[in-house]
Structure 1
Amino acid sequence: MTRTVMCRKYKEELEGLDNPPYPGPKGKDIYDTVSKKAWQEWTNHQTMIINEKHLSMMDPKTREFLQSELQKFMDGGDYEKAEGYVPPSK
């Protein structure tokens, strides 16, 4: 049976992650409140931000910035977007 969570991004019961994405309390919180769908969208978005802004994951400030953006993304805040990106039409 598939594990479901009340996704904080979509405000509905959706399939949950298979494992916490990080160790510790932050990973547990994400595991308990973020769906696979929302997490996949975040990882795609995060990749675009890293590439667009030429960020280095070795820089602690970059990691702090991305954690802040993750919170905004999941909680419906005004998060950073890649400049000029136009999502593909369906």
Structure 2
Amino acid sequence: MANTVFCRKYQQELPALTMPPLPGAKGQEIQASVSQQAWNEWQALQTRLINEKHLNLLDPATRRYLMEQLELFLDNQPTDTAQGYVPPSE
């Protein structure tokens, strides 16, 4: 059976990340409190923000911005969106 974690975003036990998604203490914290589902959703949002806002990941301000957006996302707070983004219809 897969490991589970009490996900801070969804407030329920869900499958855990198999390894820390970031180096250091922050990665350990995320692995211990964020589900695989929430992390996958964050990665999709992060990719949209990077692509649509033409962010430069070499810029320390951009990395700080993305970490701020990550925290907002995980705390179920409003995050920035890619301007003009329309979610695919089901």
Q: TM-score, normalised on structure 2?
A: 0.96
Question: How many percent identity over aligned positions?
Answer: 51
Write out per-residue CA displacement over residues 40-83 of structure 1, whole angstroms, 9 at most, x where no aligned residue: 01001100000111000000000000000000000011111111
Q: TM-score, normalised on structure 1?
A: 0.96
Deviation at 1:89, TM superposition (A): 2.2
Write out per-residue CA displacement over residues 8-64 of structure 1, whole angstroms, 9 at most, x where no aligned residue: 111111000000011211001100010000000100110000011100000000000
Q: Which residue of 2 aligns with 1:34?
A: 34
| 1:84 matches 2:84 | yes
| 1:43 matches 2:43 | yes
- Partner Cα separation in structure 2 for residue 54 and residue 7 of structure 1: 30
Which structure 1 segments of 5+ residues have no match?
none
Partner AA of 1:64 in structure 2: R
| 1:68 matches 2:57 | no
- Partner Cα separation in structure 1 for residue 17 and residue 78 of structure 2: 24
Runs of 4+ that moved beyond 4 A: none
The aligned length equals 90
**SS in structure 1 of the partner of residue 85 of structure 2:** coil
**SS in structure 2 of the partner of residue 14 of structure 1:** strand
